[in-house]
Chain A
Amino acid sequence: MQTAKHSTPLPREGQGGGVAFKYFPHTADDIQQMLDVIGVRSLDDLYAEIPEEIKLHRELDLPSEKSEEEVRSIIQGLAAQNKPLVCFAGAGSYDHYTPSVVPFLASRSEFSTSYTPYQAEISQGTLQYIFEYQSLMANLTGMDISNASMYDGSTATAEAMLMCVAAAKKRNRVLISATMQPAVLAVVRTYAKFHGVDLVEVPEKDGVMDKDAAREQIEKDDVAGLIVCQPNRYGLIEDFTGLADLCHEHKALLAVNTMASALAVLKTPGEWGADIACGEAQSLGIPMGYGGPYIGYLCTKEALVRKMPGRLVGATTDADGRRTFVLTMQAREQHIRREKATSNICTAQGFMCLYVACYLSLMGPKGMHEVNEQSYASAHYLHDELLKTGKFEEVFPGSFLNEFTLRVKGDAHKLREALAEEGYLLGVPTLFKENCLTIASTERRTKQEIDNMVECIKR
């Protein structure tokens, strides 16, 4: 065998020999004994079959190993280079209160260090919390069933689009409201382009989807589904009355994307008559965390269960007759069906189901109502105070919950930058609306914070 230019030093110098690194338990003796059992002379001999010309005959061009204190210090240094701002932004990510119990329970490594619960006998903890999550999401959305989560709200909506096409069989056109959250729309559009779905945007009128334009399209009888957004990209609450009947008369499905926390107080997808409910559940106690990990939810009617992507937990009994939980209906999934599966999803956001289940268990119906009540009140107070400064004007009529859009009389970009210097994140720039900001508030924002920011604006 040709000698490699860079061979593994064995053992490294030091007390006791071995590789002496905290995540590797092997002593020099261990390695030698194991090599003897295998019948090779060195660790490098285990790679003898790999052609020499494609091996890396040098060290990786990376820094040397770091001690625990060094790693902590480097990462603390990076965290210190960030400047978290008092958050008045939403657009799919909201700064809600997380009870301390939620991250505490989520830190239990019996949950976090486990794999997908394929061995149900030793995974009842994971299976049980996913079953609870499914139950909670089904109740929140007013639908029959929920899957065990999707990556985020945007991919959940893309999967809802694929579900519409799969359920319709011969139709390949899906309508999506132009008032969809822009980040969601961008992902759905990408999936549509590559999968070959004919995705058509339904235009907006006065800040909400133009229902007449939707009707015109649906009546062509070639539409597989319609996807709408609640509250929409401007924060407005849309009225979907009549949409489900219209869709169903023309054999199309209705999918409603709703910000999860709002499901506690707004008319649910189930009440609107939707076939699919999808969206982002970050608002249920998950920190903003610079965009992830979050959790997408996807719920549907019982009749559509076989078209549903992702994992699904069901209740059953064990050999002793006790109620237990298992992964079920796996014939839909990629590891069984390969290219004929309902989706390519394998790993989803399982662990975040625990976050949501803990959060909703602590909040209960009263807490969820209170969170929405306070978010509503603080957002409306902020809205009115901003208008009172005389530096903003209304853009749309219509009701909103905790997010709204105003036009800045002047340069919105400059105002947002100036406020960031003062420590406030005032909304996000509204796409395609000049000098408009879409602004959000939650129960975490105090009157003092709002008044202080408004003072800065007045200056």
Chain B
Amino acid sequence: MNRTYYGKLIFELSKQGRVGYSLPKNEFEGYSLVELDATLSRQTELSLPECDELTVVRHYTNMSNNNFGVDTGFYPLGSCTMKYNPKLNEEVCQLPGFNLHPMTPAKYAQGSLKLYDEVQKTLAEIAGLSRFTLNPYAGAHGELTGLMVIRSYHISRGDTLRTKIIVPDSAHGTNPASAAVCGLQIVEVKSLADGTVDVEALKPLLGPDIAGMMMTNPNTLGLFEKQIPEIARLVHECGGLMYYDGANLNPMLGVCRPGDMGFDVMHINLHKTFSTPHGGGGPGSGPVGVRKGLEQFLPNPQVRLTPNPSLVERGADTSAYELHCETTPLSTREGQGVSPYVSFFLGNFGIIIRAYAYLLSLGKENIPMAGKLSVLNANYIKESLRSHYKLPIDTVCKHEFVFDGLLEEYGGDHHDPEHVTTLDVAKRLLDYGFHAPTIYFPLLFHEALMIEPTETESKETLDDFIAVMKRIAEEAKTNPQLLKTAPHDTPVRRMDDVKAVKEPHFTYYK
């Protein structure tokens, strides 16, 4: 990691009179904003920075040197699937032909609409479902969209009392939050000691008020929920639908499909499973897929391939892609219809192009291989580090697994107030040039350290990581202070998080 601190803000580089743009001469004489009524015009000063081009280029380039990304080093962040982001994807999404205004008539956007449909169909085959919408912008947005589908399904059948959704206690925080935004009440189901859903605890929760159940499989501990056929059967029997949180889809690719597990609705994170960049927190993409019979509840607009007589004249293809909006109004509890829209248009289209390039590149041969190698990598790290870190669940994992901190002989006893914490281990990892794993999640363990390596990491990288993790464990035993004050070699040191809350500064001006 580059150790140079660069802490300037663009506002501090500004000097009155400098510009960083060039616009053509105004060709339209006789029209000016001064005509605008003063009561409608901005009166307060616009204090934007004033900078020349090179100042801006250097500023953001220096800033980027203080950032860690997949292209910089290993990112074993659990539940985030930080795989390599192929550069070909970045190239093709920039093609000028894709820079359309969203209201371009479908006739002039056939290429984009076809691409959307191809991705939609590919995801349906991978998921074992019938149809996907690519409109949701991210995983949590997909969850919300999928839950809307589930609610619409029940309401369309006059089954209006189904207002509760079952969520395992180990679920991602977005699951209960999305359900709450969708107007559903959350019923939590407990996990067994091995982290999987307790089917006996589930049974009494099922009834005529249950809209469905949200699960991720493998779960957040990286364990495959073996009881899934039984769970799906029970939920379906009580009239509910099964929702699959696709955050952990990667290890399942081509091996076992959510549709075949018994799920009815799911989302996929293109920025996890299908290699689009995470961008420091978005833009992502969260396509939602449904089983046959639920397609009409997907949000608008929908892309459809329909016969087009105007193309028959050309003697070529007789069908064309069109934008379709579901006109059947869904009745809601207020008794009024709603045509569901969750996005401005067809979602993060630029991200969808990247995912298409990835899916084409891998093909049917390599898509399953991605999952298998990610599982190989995760198990390899797990088995190599259990000599130093507490492994609460000793079984073959899928793409990720959880340690419960250091073993006691390495200072990890959390009953000891002086113990070396998971946070200390995570911060020390930064000194060695690795990103930290996900920490303190899932909430089932005190010192959770959740590791997901992904298939794009080589054995050499994993061996380096394993060696460093062991070295950190030794340091924890011999020199715990070194961990407690870590990181030491990063551009900046540990932050004062309390000060950030107590003396809030959210803008440069205040």
Within 8 Å CB of A396, what residues of B?
Answer: none
Q: How many residues of B contact A (CB 8 A)?
A: 210
Contact B7 A146 (CB under 8 A): no
Q: A65-B366, A347-B138 are in contact. Are A49 and B396 (CB under 8 A)?
A: yes
Identify which of residues 345-397 in chain B touch chain A, using a CB-to-CB cut-off of 8 Å: 345-351, 353, 356-357, 359-370, 372-373, 375-377, 379-380, 383-384, 395-396
User: A194 vs B332: C-alpha distance in the bound complex, in angstroms?
Assistant: 8
Among candidates B177, B279, B379, residue contacting A351 with C-beta atoms closer than 8 Å = B279
Q: How far is the CB of A257 from chain B (nearest CB, A)?
A: 12
- What 1/0 flags go to A325-342 for Cβ under 8 Å of B? 010110001111111110
Of all chain A residues, the one with the shortest Cβ separation from B253 is A60
Contact B104 A425 (CB under 8 A): yes
Within 8 Å CB of A105, what residues of B?
Answer: 56-57, 60-61, 64
6 contacts between A and B (CB under 8 A): A54-B229, A81-B110, A117-B280, A132-B11, A292-B346, A316-B495
Contact A343 B177 (CB under 8 A): yes
Contact B138 A151 (CB under 8 A): yes
Among candidates B40, B59, B112, B282, residue contacting A290 with C-beta atoms closer than 8 Å = B112
User: A373 vs B148: C-alpha distance in the bound complex, in angstroms?
Assistant: 43
| A203 interface residue (CB < 8 Å to B) | no
Identify which of residues 124-143 in chain A touch chain B, using a CB-to-CB cut-off of 8 Å: 124-126, 128-132, 134-136, 138-140, 142
- What 1/0 flags go to A92-110 for Cβ under 8 Å of B? 1101010101011101111
User: A32 vs B207: C-alpha distance in the bound complex, in angstroms?
Assistant: 49
- What 1/0 flags go to B47-66 for Cβ under 8 Å of A? 11111010011011101111
Identify which of residues 34-78 in chain B touch chain A, using a CB-to-CB cut-off of 8 Å: 35-37, 39-51, 53, 56-57, 59-61, 63-72, 75, 77
Within 8 Å CB of A116, what residues of B?
Answer: 278, 280-281
Of all chain A residues, the one with the shortest Cβ separation from B13 is A361
Contact B430 A121 (CB under 8 A): yes
Contact A190 B60 (CB under 8 A): no
User: A443 vs B72: C-alpha distance in the bound complex, in angstroms?
Assistant: 39
Identify which of residues 351-372 in chain A touch chain B, using a CB-to-CB cut-off of 8 Å: 351-352, 354, 357-358, 360-372
The SS class assigned to the B binding surface is: loop
User: A56 vs B455: C-alpha distance in the bound complex, in angstroms?
Assistant: 20
Within 8 Å CB of B53, what residues of A?
Answer: 99, 101, 362
Question: 8 new A-B pairs (CB below 8 Å) besides A110-B64, A126-B281?
Answer: A74-B360, A79-B98, A82-B100, A116-B281, A126-B67, A144-B507, A146-B506, A195-B181
| A323 interface residue (CB < 8 Å to B) | yes
- What 1/0 flags go to A241-252 for Cβ under 8 Å of B? 100000000000
| B417 interface residue (CB < 8 Å to A) | no
| B96 interface residue (CB < 8 Å to A) | yes
User: A25 vs B373: C-alpha distance in the bound complex, in angstroms?
Assistant: 10
Q: A81-B111, A377-B26 are in contact. Are A121 and B43 (CB under 8 A)?
A: no
Contact B112 A78 (CB under 8 A): yes
| A378 interface residue (CB < 8 Å to B) | yes
User: A130 vs B64: C-alpha distance in the bound complex, in angstroms?
Assistant: 13
Contact B27 A351 (CB under 8 A): no
Among candidates B60, B100, B180, residue contacting A108 with C-beta atoms closer than 8 Å = B60
Q: How far is the CB of B133 from chain A (nearest CB, A)?
A: 13
| A312 interface residue (CB < 8 Å to B) | yes
Contact B98 A290 (CB under 8 A): yes
Q: A26-B459, A363-B21 are in contact. Are A151 and B343 (CB under 8 A)?
A: yes
Identify which of residues 176-190 in chain A touch chain B, using a CB-to-CB cut-off of 8 Å: 183-184, 186-187, 189-190
Contact A71 B31 (CB under 8 A): no
Contact A187 B495 (CB under 8 A): no
| B126 interface residue (CB < 8 Å to A) | yes
Identify which of residues 7-25 in chain B touch chain A, using a CB-to-CB cut-off of 8 Å: 7, 9-11, 14, 18-21, 23-24
Contact B92 A71 (CB under 8 A): yes
Of all chain B residues, the one with the shortest Cβ separation from A151 is B137
Within 8 Å CB of A320, what residues of B?
Answer: 492-493
Contact B364 A62 (CB under 8 A): yes
Q: Interface range on chain A: under 10, 10 to 19, 20 to 34, or 35 or more?
A: 35 or more
Among candidates A38, A112, A152, A287, residue contacting B379 with C-beta atoms closer than 8 Å = A38
| B179 interface residue (CB < 8 Å to A) | yes
| A397 interface residue (CB < 8 Å to B) | no
Q: Which listed segment binds B: A211-219, A220-228, A267-275, A386-394? A: A267-275
Contact B457 A155 (CB under 8 A): no
User: A85 vs B103: C-alpha distance in the bound complex, in angstroms?
Assistant: 11
Within 8 Å CB of B383, what residues of A?
Answer: 37-39
Q: A51-B226, A68-B361, A152-B137 are in contact. Are A322 and B60 (CB under 8 A)?
A: no
Contact A291 B347 (CB under 8 A): yes
Among candidates B47, B84, B92, residue contacting A139 with C-beta atoms closer than 8 Å = B47
Within 8 Å CB of B9, what residues of A?
Answer: 128, 131-132, 135
User: A358 vs B401: C-alpha distance in the bound complex, in angstroms?
Assistant: 39
Of all chain B residues, the one with the shortest Cβ separation from A268 is B42
User: A61 vs B364: C-alpha distance in the bound complex, in angstroms?
Assistant: 7
Contact A288 B379 (CB under 8 A): no
Within 8 Å CB of B396, what residues of A?
Answer: 38, 40, 46, 48-49
Q: How far is the CB of A311 from chain B (nearest CB, A)?
A: 7
Contact B180 A237 (CB under 8 A): no
User: A283 vs B115: C-alpha distance in the bound complex, in angstroms?
Assistant: 25
| B289 interface residue (CB < 8 Å to A) | no
User: A218 vs B365: C-alpha distance in the bound complex, in angstroms?
Assistant: 62
| A15 interface residue (CB < 8 Å to B) | no
User: A22 vs B83: C-alpha distance in the bound complex, in angstroms?
Assistant: 13
Of all chain A residues, the one with the shortest Cβ separation from B7 is A323
Identify the 10 closest CB pairs spanning chains A and B, nearest first: A291-B345, A79-B97, A351-B279, A350-B281, A125-B67, A65-B363, A81-B111, A362-B20, A113-B69, A25-B458
Identify which of residues 42-95 in chain A touch chain B, using a CB-to-CB cut-off of 8 Å: 43-44, 46-51, 53-56, 59-66, 68, 70-72, 74-85, 87, 89, 91-93, 95
Q: How far is the CB of B59 from chain A (nearest CB, A)?
A: 8
Of all chain B residues, the one with the shortest Cβ separation from A31 is B376
Identify which of residues 425-475 in chain B touch chain A, using a CB-to-CB cut-off of 8 Å: 426-427, 430, 435-436, 441, 455-459
